[in-house]
Structure 1
Amino acid sequence: MRPNNLSFPLSGIVLLPADSDALLAAALAVRRAVFTVEHGIPQSVEQDDLDHPGADCAHFLARLGGRDAAALRCIFPAPGVVRLQRFCVLPELRGLGVGKAVLTELENRYRPAMRRVELDAKFRVEGFYKACGYRTVSEIFLEAGAEHVKMVKDL
């Protein structure tokens, strides 16, 4: 399910499908800055076979005031389910509402066709997702060397 251009006026944030080589490269650069540089996850683990144009997923790049700010991708593991992956906001832009705005826009976009959003959240940011209406549905587990929990939100 490939989304149309998404934009919303909240704080000047624009969410773009990263469906061109340039936008996908920008989204992957945001992910690399957060996951590889900040968190030390090897790029060979952070990127996989879904990180290329035409992959069976939807990549997104969020911009704040024209500046790349956040990235994520969505897969569709079952009818009515969207699974968020690799969601990140650049460290210097956290606390400005970027993450919440991106989640809200994605939920609004997928609400007509999807009944549930799923994600694996790092345990240390579980509170952020809870504040956005997600609920924890697993015990803590390790993924890429970090503690995670599975979270869901019914749309």
Structure 2
Amino acid sequence: MDYTIQSKKFEQLSLMELYRILQLRNQVFYVEQRCDDLDLDDKDQQSWHLTIYDGDILVGYARLLPPGLSYPEMSIGRVAVSASYRGHQIGRLLMEKAIEQLEVSFGKGPIKISGQRYLEKFYASLGFETISEVYLEAGIEHLKMLRPAF
């Protein structure tokens, strides 16, 4: 498939792009996963927003956070793939592009994430190492994971 991959700062997003991002995040985190935390946390305005489109359909999204916003390290969060596109390697493509974009935007350095426990092996395959015990975030088991600077 030919996907369009973009990374934009918050202020570069069009209203429709922002709407599609919030729509996908809402579908994945609130409808599917029944998260009980507030999605809009005032970090979007300081982050980069990585999107993957199939035509005009948003199929993947990740929020790229600069160092010091969530952790001392740069971070990737709000990773979401549209249900109808799962199993097509969108998640891997999304994470690989997120890592690349973080390095372009903020330089090489460690990347820290709060990953859902069931995705631990997936994140490990991308170079992330588990650095915490399991904890609940938004009612879902998570682990802190760190990808050292390479």
Residue 118 of structure 1 is matched in structure 2 by 112
CA contact (8 A) 2:2 2:54 kept: yes
Shift of 1:76: 1.4
SS at match of 1:78: coil
Residue 71 of structure 1 is matched in structure 2 by 61
Count of aligned positions = 141
For the aligned residues, what is the CA RMSD? 2.1
Identity value in percent: 25
Structure 2 vs 1, CA of residues 130 and 65 (structure 1 numbering), >3 Å: closer, same or farther? farther
- Cα-to-partner distance string for 1:26-82 (whole Å, 9 max, x where unaligned): 11111111001101124x62222234xxx1112222113442101121211339832
Structure 1 residue 15 corresponds to structure 2 residue 5: yes
Unaligned runs of 5+ in 2: none
SS at match of 1:47: coil
Amino acid at match of 1:115: G
Amino acid at match of 2:125: A
Of 37, 43, 50, the residue aligned with 2:43 is 50
CA contact (8 A) 1:141 1:147 kept: yes
After the TM superposition, which residues 1-155 of structure 1 pair with which residues of structure 2 at under 5 Å, given as runs?
A: 11-18=1-8, 19-42=13-36, 45-51=38-44, 55-78=45-68, 81-112=73-104, 113-155=107-149
Residue 3 of structure 1 is matched in structure 2 by none
Q: TM-score, normalised by structure 1?
A: 0.80
**Distance across 1 between alignment mates of 2:42 and 2:68:** 19
Amino acid at match of 1:50: K
Structure 2 vs 1, CA of residues 59 and 109 (structure 1 numbering), >3 Å: closer, same or farther? closer
Q: TM-score, normalised by structure 2?
A: 0.82
SS at match of 2:122: helix
CA contact (8 A) 1:26 1:61 kept: no
CA contact (8 A) 1:27 1:60 kept: no
Amino acid at match of 1:128: F
Shift of 1:13: 2.4
